[in-house]
Amino acid sequence: MRLRSHLIALVLAALVPVLGFSALVIRDNARLQLAATERGMRETAHAVAATVDKELEVAITALQALAESEHLDAADLRVFHALCQRMVRAQGWRSILLVDAEAQGLMHTSLAMGTRPPPTSRPEAFLLARDGRRPAVSNLFDGVRHQRIVAVYVPIFRDNVVRFVLAAGLPAAKFGEVLRAQQFGAGTVAVLQDRDNVIVARTQREAEMVGQPARPPMPGADGWTRSQLRDGDDVYVAFVTAPLSGWRVVLTTPAAMVDAPLRRALWQLLGGA
């Protein structure tokens, strides 16, 4: 009996250091894997934000090209109206609105020429474009004729003075297409939120979630953390603010998927013991 006890003690004495060392290795590997996950999610969020802003830059460039048209300076805007309508169809936009420096509507592609459109429904973006003398992007809103759109405002200069502001209404669905075109990892959900923390686009459940307020944003322009969804599921979250629009890209990945390799390694260690 004494010999058996000694043998057990010898086995334990040899096994405990091995198990301890294995546990340390597993812990360090888990930290490395988590760091790699964080780095990958952050890089992906930055890439998506750049793609979103690129979509807006395309709209800005197109409006700036229209602003150079000689037909804009004509007394009769019919030719310019038709030109804008062609641009709307080509770009898949909802509409183009032309307003003067006092925000009074001059032309709207969804209205017949001669019908005076109402003033811009996004005065804050208009003022930012006019007074800031640079393009501005609105948050998500429902227009008079179109729902779930965002608007890009471009100031138009004549003799270095802002004479007009040209605005294009883009459907929120266009940004849903941008998100879904990205190659996200399994289980990852991407959400685009405007500056008011309202959902503009989403890779899952988009139809029911667009226009809804998101959870209160985390502080900072970008970051990575572990959080919990409203349904109680734990997730890792990476977020970044797009510089042009000020919108936020948020990526979530289930914590269970990220932590699964660590759990498997621990079970294997315990099973081997």
Segments in the chain below pLDDT 50:
18-19, 21-26, 265-270, 272
Helix (H, G, I), strand (E, B) or coil at 98: strand
For the chain, how are helix, strand and coil distributed in percent, rounded to 5?
A: 45, 25, 30
Model confidence pLDDT, tens digit, residues 128-186: 999 999 999 999 998 878 889 999 999 999 999 999 999 999 999 999 999 999 988 77
pTM: 0.81
**pLDDT for the residue numbered 33:** 75
Give the Cα separation of 10 and 255 in Å (integer).
Answer: 40
**pLDDT for the residue numbered 266:** 44
**pLDDT for the residue numbered 34:** 73
Give the Cα separation of 17 and 31 in Å (integer).
Answer: 21
**pLDDT for the residue numbered 229:** 74
Under DSSP, the state recorded for 217 is P
Give the Cα separation of 56 and 244 in Å (integer).
Answer: 8
Distance of CA 207 to the CA centre of its chain: 16
**pLDDT for the residue numbered 4:** 64
Based on the number of CB atoms within 10 Å of its own CB, is 34 exposed (0-12), middle (13-18) or buried (19 or more)? middle
**pLDDT for the residue numbered 125:** 95
**pLDDT for the residue numbered 30:** 54
Contacts of 194 (CB under 8 A, 6+ apart): 139, 140, 150, 200, 245, 246, 247
**pLDDT for the residue numbered 260:** 57
Give the Cα separation of 88 and 22 in Å (integer).
Answer: 63
Instruction: Name the amino acid, one letter, at 207.
Output: A
